[in-house]
Amino acid sequence: LYVKKKYTESNKMMINKSFENINENPSISNCLLVREFCDVFPKICAPQHEMIISIINICTDDKVLSILSDSLSSILDDITNPNISLFTLLMQNIKQCIYLRPAMIIRSVIEVASRVTTEILPSNNVLNETFEYFAKFLRSNLNLSRQKEFIETTESTKLVNQLCRALYVIGCICRYHKGMTQRQVNQIWGPIQHYFNAPVSRIRSMVLQSVCDICVRDTSQIEKAKELVNHAFKLGPPESVSAIIFLKNLIEEETKVEDTTEIDEIRPTYSSNLIHDFMTEITKCFGYNDSPIRTAALEFTIVALNYGAINPPDIIRYIISMLCSKDQSNLAMETLKIVIYHYSSILNSRMKD
């Protein structure tokens, strides 16, 4: 519709109306509509960036904040006359979000902040300062990773929450912030790796999430990550779930990375190679009595099949076995549909077997 001039004016009126709606009532439904317009018509929506930023700066609803952050990210390339003061205020607000908001919001705002820093405010130091703060916090609490037993108290629980936030934030900044140097990434790898020895399952899970983000940025770290994943599988439940989620996230994040390879080059699929190495451990997860592990294994399988990161014959029998499980039968059927629709010839040959 944007290409056809006769529709352009009506589109603009409709889009402007949607922005008026979120200005009066920034409900989730209104914001979702704006996000769709920003994604499809970024040039038309770009002049409305001030309104989006103003709402983000005063927003208290996590879902709305996430949606509008994605909306702003979609139109950044098309903003021709940015309001520098407003963007500076946005970066300060993002800094507060990183310290206070849940994980879903942290990832969204860090992704936006990294693009704002690259394209609009190259001298802004919010992300660098945030990285240094949390890196210093991780280094100052390494003693926890050397403890053999975790005694749960109010203070220790608070520390665990802070460490999980620090690990997650560090991973997100490494993943998205182009201003990060390789030296900074290398220096933080050691402390992150040490926290996998902490006697707290939540921290070990967050270490794998942070490592996943770092590996997406720097594939040379994959071999080091492989050691952690192997250790997680050997620990068994609930660490097996963390290992499975790590592999699933790695596939999803790999598909989001901008492809910079030349036409005649083959882009390396590091996630596929890693999955191949852990295929035995992955299939073993289907045999656990622990329902969350079987569910995680099926969710991983769906992602892996959709992106061609797994060989269907290696996994079909495990999917079929999950049809007999009360908790996993519906998810197993959805997974089997992917095999039927996308790998029908392979399924037919296995059914004959």
* 285's tokens: 């997860």
By the 8 A CB rule, do 119 and 78 touch?
no
Tell me how far apart the alpha carbons of residues 338 and 197 are, in angstroms, rounded to a whole number.
38
Tell me how far apart the alpha carbons of residues 332 and 342 are, in angstroms, rounded to a whole number.
16
**Amino acid letter, 325:** S
Q: Provide the pLDDT for residue 261.
A: 41
The pTM of the full predicted model, rounded to 2 decimals, is 0.85
Q: Provide the pLDDT for residue 262.
A: 41
Tell me how far apart the alpha carbons of residues 232 and 241 are, in angstroms, rounded to a whole number.
9
Q: Provide the pLDDT for residue 260.
A: 45
Please give the chain's pLDDT, 353 residues, in tens.
455 555 567 778 889 999 999 999 999 999 999 999 999 889 889 999 999 999 999 998 999 999 999 999 999 999 998 999 999 999 999 999 999 999 889 999 999 999 999 999 999 999 999 999 999 999 999 998 888 888 889 999 999 999 999 999 999 999 999 999 999 999 999 999 999 999 998 999 999 999 999 988 888 888 889 999 999 999 888 888 989 999 998 888 877 765 444 433 334 467 788 888 999 999 999 999 889 999 999 999 999 998 888 888 889 889 999 999 889 999 999 998 988 888 877 666 666 65
Interhelix angle 49-58/5-24, rounded to 10 degrees, is 20
**Amino acid letter, 295:** T
Distance of CA 65 to the CA centre of its chain: 16
By the 8 A CB rule, do 229 and 243 touch?
yes
Q: Provide the pLDDT for residue 218.
A: 85
By the 8 A CB rule, do 298 and 288 touch?
no
Q: Provide the pLDDT for residue 353.
A: 58
Give how far Cα 25 sits from Cα of 1, 17, 80, Å: 27, 12, 27
Tell me how far apart the alpha carbons of residues 339 and 331 are, in angstroms, rounded to a whole number.
13
